[in-house]
Amino acid sequence: MKKTLIAAALLAGFAGAAQAETSVTLYGIVDLGVGYQKIKGGPGDFDGSKFGLVSGNQNGSRWGLRGTEDLGGGTRAVFTLESGFEANNGRSAQGSRLFGRQSTVGLANDAWGQLDFGRQTNIGSKYFGSIDPFGAGFGQANIGAGFSALNTVRYDNMIQYQTPSYSGFQVGAGYSFNTGSGATSPDSFRTNENQRAITAGIRYANGPLNVAASYDQLNQVSSLDDEKVRSWNVGGSYDFETSSWLWLTAKPATAFSVAKACRPSARAIRSVSPQLSAVRTVRRKAASAPTRGWSALRLRSVAQASCSVRGSVLTRVAMIR
């Protein structure tokens, strides 16, 4: 009887150790609400409005699996499979891909960093998300509306490496053998018949200070265009606890923004989100005269929390030649 109990205890111990070394997490977000949108202007002097269910008001709806397994010596095998979908109709997002948001497998170690293989976002989207007052969410209000290279850009077939954080400093770089977008033959056998990409960046995030710089380059399909599309971005924020200063610049140097934004509650942000489209309207109207001065729009929530969005007009897209 005593031997049986000892064997049972050993088996339980081994099972506990195995459970501690391997973990898989199921996670997700369902973002669905009722919204009103009005568009006026553009080609043909369009004028129309829409009222109904809207998926992804703050963040895109998704579900995913994230796993890790201890390989010994501090090294872990990691993977992430993340699928986006439209909550109002159940359709897959990201071009109807099964795991369009992210599909990676890799190795991680606290001493030397993390190496990931597969479909994932570029370095700029990773490092500037925490600088954006809206956390890369809320559609037109987020940082990607003015700087396309930071607009949650995803590349297929990418190898990406990131160092650990050394006293707040972190560096990352990646190369995509085929971005999966813009190429005439998305899976061509010849390397130069696929659109390739380089992404790199550095950031410092320690205490209230958060600054980052990124660079992206697209190598076009050789049969179409030998020129390279390049983009660089520099930005930062400082948290004063009651408010944060945000500064961004991108190539060309005339496209920059300085914004002071308060940190309202999530409820307050949602209450002003229907008005945020007006920000882009103000920017477009001032596009013809970027030196005219400051353009400002005050957004107030029902809770009387307010934010000011001030800055020069974001008229240039970061991805330029």
Q: Please give the mean pLDDT across all residues of the chain.
A: 74
Q: What's the first-to-final CA gap in the chain, in angstroms?
A: 78
Lowest mean pLDDT among 64-68, 83-87, 153-157, 228-232: 228-232
Return d(Cα 206, Cα 237) in angstroms, integer. 11
pLDDT higher for 241 or 300?
A: 241
pTM: 0.69
As given in the structure block, the two tokens for residue 99 are 């795991």
- At 122, is the pLDDT very low, low, confident or very high (cuts 50, 70, 90)? very high
320: amino acid identity, one letter: I
Residue 306, C-beta contacts closer than 8 angstroms, at least 6 positions apart = 262, 264, 298, 299, 300
Query: Which pair of structure tokens corresponds to residue 87?
Result: 């909550």
Q: What is the pLDDT of residue 11?
A: 46
Distances (CA, A) of 171 to 63, 75, 255: 28, 19, 25
Average pLDDT over every residue of 43-61: 88
| Of 268 and 237, the one with more pLDDT | 237
- The whole-number pLDDT of residue 118 equals 97
Q: Which residue has the higher pLDDT, 191 or 256?
A: 191
Q: List the structure tokens of 267.
A: 């409820």
The b/e string for 16-42 (b: 16+ C-beta within 10 A; e otherwise) is eeeeeeeeeeeeeeeeeeeeeeeeeee
Give the β-pairing of 113-121 and 102-109: antiparallel
Q: What is the pLDDT of residue 85?
A: 95
Mean pLDDT of 198-223: 91
Highest mean pLDDT range out of 189-193, 201-205, 219-223, 239-243?
Answer: 201-205
